[in-house]
């Protein structure tokens, strides 16, 4: 997958919002509306900051699973995943508030086996029911060792647009940018039960950089 967001400080999908706010601020200034110009100027800066696209030092650790997004770990559960894995799995949920970076990153090396978009509601992303009820986009990755990792972009109360650049069949690399969710959201990561977790509830994580877990080599376990 070509990482289309590399090398630019703001993701392309955010440029129209920044340009629109900046243009409105400039027009207000030209008309002599100083107060409105300052307000719109602030909105322009915030929008540019929201769509920021920072570089990350991706850890090169065999079997590492990195955070798919910036935010705070709000849940770690063992539960049955009925859509793709059809098995018990460990779920790590990360809540992204409006101040976090919203570029989403691939959690591990592997091949995309399936991508599925699900329309739904816009319940606050930090509520448990958001996992199944909210609008979301699921990315199913299979590693070279055979492990299956499900990464789900979940829209929230304010987020109304999920963007995914990845396509089924593509090989992806850990930490690679693959999409974003606009204005507040959540990432759910489903891992095999044998995965060794490195984080706990309440931990703050960085997308593409924080190691959430390490995958066991199931080919070795089968011997």
Any idea which residues carry the catalytic annotation?
Answer: 185
Strands, E, within 97-127: which ranges? Answer: 103-105, 110-118
Partnered with residue 80 across adjacent β-strands are: 88
CA distance 117 to 162: 9
CA distances, 210 to each of 69, 71, 92 (Å): 9, 11, 13
Helix (H, G, I), strand (E, B) or coil at 181: strand
CA distance 69 to 212: 11
For the chain, the distance separating the N- and C-terminal CA atoms, rounded to the nearest angstrom, is: 33
CA distance 130 to 63: 29
How much is the CA Rg of the chain, to the nearest whole Å? 19
Tokens 């992303």: give the residue: 125
What backbone torsions phi and psi does residue 42 show, to the nearest 5 degrees?
-65, -40
């Amino acid at each position: 997958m070509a990482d289309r967001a590399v090398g630019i400080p703001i993701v392309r999908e955010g440029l129209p919002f920044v340009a629109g706010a900046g243009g409105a601020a400039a027009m207000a200034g030209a008309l002599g509306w100083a107060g409105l110009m300052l307000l719109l100027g602030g909105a322009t800066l915030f929008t540019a900051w929201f769509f920021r696209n920072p570089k990350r030092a991706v850890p090169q650790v065999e079997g590492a699973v990195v955070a798919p997004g910036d935010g705070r770990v709000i849940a770690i559960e063992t539960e049955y995943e009925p859509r793709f894995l059809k098995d018990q799995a460990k779920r790590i949920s990360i809540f992204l508030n409006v101040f976090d970076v919203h570029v989403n990153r691939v959690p591990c090396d592997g091949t995309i086996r399936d991508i599925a978009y699900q329309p739904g509601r816009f319940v606050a992303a930090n509520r448990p029911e958001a996992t199944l009820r909210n609008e979301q986009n699921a990315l199913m990755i299979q590693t070279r060792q055979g492990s299956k990792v499900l990464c789900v972009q979940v829209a929230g109360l304010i987020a109304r647009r999920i963007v995914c650049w990845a396509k089924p069949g593509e090989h992806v690399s850990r930490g690679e940018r693959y999409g974003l969710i606009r204005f507040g959201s959540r990432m759910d990561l489903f891992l095999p039960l044998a995965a060794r977790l490195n984080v706990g509830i309440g931990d703050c994580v960085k997308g593409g950089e924080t190691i959430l877990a390490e995958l066991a080599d199931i080919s070795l376990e089968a011997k």
